[in-house]
């Protein structure tokens, strides 16, 4: 069992920044593919970013590429999402997820992640 707890959400003006953090506990964190997903009201959950178990590989949705940065600290069992140049369309509930190393091959699919946090709200005002 892996427990995931997100923090760092809030209200920010367009153009601002937020840093989300996901703290994990339970089974060995360093072996997991980690991802961030978001869900806006009335929309499907969508992929935002993912990082491989070693941190050596990352992937981003086109909509956030160049603005968001995912990172992980295997010693602290955390994965962060630095969000810069935020836009109103980034408003959503952001959730972190953990999946096995093999999930990297399908990292953009939520169905390949086994564990999920409860989510944190990010609201970007125009």
What residues pair up with 69 in beta bridges, in sequence order? Answer: 82
Span 42-95, pLDDT tens digits: 999 999 999 998 889 999 999 999 999 999 999 999 999 999 999 999 999 999
Q: What is the mean pLDDT of residues 12-35?
A: 91
Within 8 A by CB and 6+ apart from 89, the residues are 63, 124
Residue 97 contacts residue 116 (beta carbons within 8 Å): yes
Cα-Cα-Cα-Cα torsion 65, 69, 22, 94, nearest 10 degrees, comes to: -30
Q: Indicate the SS3 state at residue 105.
A: helix
Which tokens go with 112? 């390949």
Return phi, psi of residue 107, to 5°: -65, -20
Q: What is the mean pLDDT of residues 20-31?
A: 85
Q: Predicted confidence band at 26 (pLDDT cuts at 50, 70, 90)?
A: confident
Span 109-119, pLDDT tens digits: 999 999 999 99
Which tokens go with 32? 């997991």
């Amino acid at each position: 069992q892996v427990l995931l707890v997100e923090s760092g959400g809030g209200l920010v003006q367009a153009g601002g920044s937020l840093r989300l953090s996901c703290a994990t506990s339970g089974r060995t964190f360093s072996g997991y593919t980690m991802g961030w997903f978001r869900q806006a009201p009335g929309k499907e959950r969508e992929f935002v970013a993912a990082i491989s178990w070693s941190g050596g590989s990352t992937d981003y949705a086109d909509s956030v590429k160049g603005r968001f940065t995912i990172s992980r600290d295997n010693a602290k069992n955390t994965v962060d999402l630095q969000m810069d140049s935020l836009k109103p369309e980034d408003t959503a509930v952001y959730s972190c997820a953990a999946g096995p190393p093999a999930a990297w091959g399908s990292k953009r699919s939520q169905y390949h992640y086994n564990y999920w946090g409860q989510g944190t709200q990010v609201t970007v005002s125009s």
